[in-house]
Amino acid sequence: MQDTLKISGKDITNRLFIGTGKFSSYEVMKRALEASKAEVATVALRRVDTTSMQENILDYIPKRCNVMINTSGARNAEEAVRIARLAKAAGSGNWIKIEVVKDNKYLLPDNIETLRATEVLAKEGFVVFPYMSPDLSIARRMLEAGAAAVMPLGSPIGTNRGLRTKELVEILVKELSIPVIVDAGLGRPSDACVCMELGCAAVLVNTAIAVSPDPVGYAVAFSKAVEAGRSAYIAGIPCGKDPEPSSPLTGFLRNEK
């Protein structure tokens, strides 16, 4: 039986979501998405222009990918809601990653404003993915508001520092009944593997892939790491035992007197 992530009636088999910013060209981005077999791609609304005679980023998103518009640039709930509505009106669908950032230095999400936007958009029928600092009480309120998943940061956006919020993410995985998708800061495929071993439903990676010397190869590496981590989680990961040999330590040497 195939292991799938079900969100809003859609079955997703590849649990690596890829962001579309910072690539050297749309063509490189397209090849990375295709090679990794990603099924979800996030796109900032400001890069979508369906009326332009020039390149439109949506033309480079493989058909199998679900497009998730993100509200990058929003500084409060009202701006995030406006961006989401504009995206839907432009024909970009109703999957929305809510990203509300007031902090220009560390680029940390504003959990309160994000919750406010979640409450509004979920009621309007959007499939809402709030990007958040990992906080269980806020995450529970986002769940109650109708979020399809929560997207806690691994470390600050674009830093490639890895999963610095591991213990907090693990709490969310254990306590929430909706998918936990780690977003932001993952720099190495091994970071993604650790997230999946914890039981995360998926990971979202952008900067690490886009700025790699070989974005296509790195996207494939992340995809394989996500698959390996998910397989390990399903199989069960042994831990916390006393030292125990994997082979007998007696019976193969003659006792000498």
Give the active site residues.
97
| Contact between 150 and 142 (Cβ < 8 Å) | yes
The helix (H) or strand (E) run that includes residue 118 is helix 111-123
Pull the structure tokens for residue 50.
């369906």
User: What is the 3 state secondary structure string of 48-61?
Assistant: CCCCCCCCCHHHHC
What stretches of 30-109 adopt beta strand conformation (E)? Answer: 40-44, 66-70, 95-98
Contacts of 182 (CB under 8 A, 6+ apart): 151, 152, 153, 154, 163, 169, 192, 195, 200, 202, 203, 204
- Label residues 199-238 b or e (16+ Cβ within 10 Å = b): bbbbbbbbbbbbebeebbebbbbbbebbbbbbeebeeeee
| Contact between 3 and 14 (Cβ < 8 Å) | no
Angle (deg, nearest 10), helices 111-123 and 77-89:
40
